[in-house]
Amino acid sequence: MATSEVRVHDALVALQGQMAAVRLPLETSGAAQGRKERHNVLEQLDDYVLPRLRALDAPLLAVVGGSTGSGKSTLANSIVGRPVTAAGVLRPTTRSPVLMHNSVDQSWFDSPRILPDLPRVTGPGADGELQLAAADSLPVGLALLDAPDFDSIVVSNRELSVQLLAAADLWLYITTAARYADAVPWSLLEKAAERNVAVAVVLDRVDTDAIDTIRADLAAMLTRNGLGTSPLFVIPEVRLDDEGLLPSEASEPVQQWLRGLVADEAARSAVIRRTLDGAITSMQESAETIAEAYEHQVVADAGLRAIVKESYTVAAEKIDVAIADGSVLRGEVLARWQDFVGTGEFFRVLDSGISRVRDRFEAFVRGRPQPTAEVEAAIAHGVQAVLIDEANEAAERAETGWRASQAGRELLGDDDLSRARDDVDDRSAAVVRAWQGAVLELVRSEGANKRFTARAVSIGVNGMGLAVMIAVFASTDGRTGAEVGSAGGTAVVGQRLLEAVFGEQAARHLAERARRDLNDRVMALLKEESSRFTDRLDSLDVDERTPGEIRGAIIEVRHARSEAA
Ligand SMILES: Nc1nc2c(ncn2[C@@H]2O[C@H](COP(=O)(O)OP(=O)(O)O)[C@@H](O)[C@H]2O)c(=O)[nH]1
Ligand SMILES: [Mg+2]
Confirm or reject: Cβ of 428 under 6 Å from ligand 1.
Answer: no
Q: Choose one of 73, 74, 94, 237 to mutate for the ligand 1 pocket test, by most ligand atoms within 8 angstroms of C-beta.
A: 74
Q: Is 109 helix (H, G, I), strand (E, B) or coil?
A: helix
Confirm or reject: Cβ of 83 under 6 Å from ligand 1.
Answer: no
463's CB contacts (< 8 A; 6+ apart) are 340, 365, 370, 372, 497
* Helix orientation angle between 504-538 and 373-403, rounded to the nearest 10 degrees: 30
CA of 205 to the centre of ligand 1 (A): 9
CA of 397 to the centre of ligand 2 (A): 58
* 202 contacts 233 by C-beta, under 8 angstroms: yes
* 489 contacts 478 by C-beta, under 8 angstroms: no
For the chain, state the CA radius of gyration: 40
204 CA: nearest ligand 1 atom:
27
Confirm or reject: Cβ of 148 under 6 Å from ligand 1.
Answer: no
Residue 128 backbone zone (phi > 0: left; psi -120 to 50: alpha; other: beta): left
CA of 233 to the centre of ligand 1 (A): 16
What's the pLDDT score for residue 498? 76
pLDDT by residue, tens only, the chain of 565 residues? 888 889 999 999 999 999 999 999 999 989 999 999 999 999 999 999 999 999 999 999 999 998 888 999 999 999 999 998 877 655 554 568 999 999 999 999 999 999 999 999 988 777 889 999 999 999 999 999 999 888 888 888 888 999 999 999 999 999 998 888 888 888 889 989 999 999 999 999 999 999 999 999 999 999 999 999 999 999 999 999 999 999 999 999 999 999 999 999 999 999 999 999 999 999 999 999 999 999 999 999 999 999 999 999 999 999 999 888 877 777 777 777 777 765 545 555 555 554 455 555 555 555 554 567 888 898 899 999 999 999 999 999 999 999 999 999 999 999 999 999 999 999 999 999 999 999 999 988 887 766 555 545 555 777 788 888 888 887 654 444 444 444 445 666 667 777 777 778 888 888 899 999 999 999 999 999 999 999 999 999 999 999 999 999 999 999 999 998 8
CA distance 60 to 68: 25
What secondary structure does DSSP assign to 125-140, as a single string? Answer: --TT-EEEEE-TTSPT
CA distance 377 to 53: 77
Confirm or reject: Cβ of 205 under 6 Å from ligand 1.
Answer: yes
How many C-beta atoms lie closer than 10 Å to residue 34's C-beta?
A: 23
Confirm or reject: Cβ of 88 under 6 Å from ligand 1.
Answer: yes
* 120 contacts 130 by C-beta, under 8 angstroms: yes
Residues present in the chain in total: 565
State the burial class of residue 104 (Cβ atoms within 10 Å of its Cβ: 0-12, 13-18, 19+). middle
How many C-beta atoms lie closer than 10 Å to residue 220's C-beta?
A: 11
Nearest CA to ligand 1 atom 14: 71
CA distance 125 to 132: 9
The pTM score is: 0.84
**Dihedral over alpha carbons 210, 165, 48, 11 (to 10 degrees):** 100
* 484 contacts 491 by C-beta, under 8 angstroms: yes
* 455 contacts 368 by C-beta, under 8 angstroms: no
DSSP run (H or E) holding 232: strand 232-236
What's the pLDDT score for residue 256? 96
CA of 246 to the centre of ligand 1 (A): 9
77 CA: nearest ligand 1 atom:
15
What's the pLDDT score for residue 219? 95
Q: What is the 3-state secondary structure (H, E, C) of 284-348?
A: HHHHHHHHHHHHHHHHHHHHHHHHHHHHHHHHHHHHHHHHHECHHHCHHHHHHHHHHHCCHHHHH
DSSP run (H or E) holding 120: strand 120-121
What's the pLDDT score for residue 95? 66
The sign of the dihedral angle between the CA atoms of 96, 178, 162, 112 is: positive
CA of 89 to the centre of ligand 2 (A): 9
Looking at 173-233, list the stretches that DSSP marks H as alpha helix, in order from N- to C-terminal side.
183-195, 211-224
Nearest CA to ligand 1 atom 19: 69
What's the pLDDT score for residue 490? 60
> 27 φ, ψ to 5°?
-85, 80
Q: Ion ligand 2 — residues with CB under 5 Å?
A: 72-73
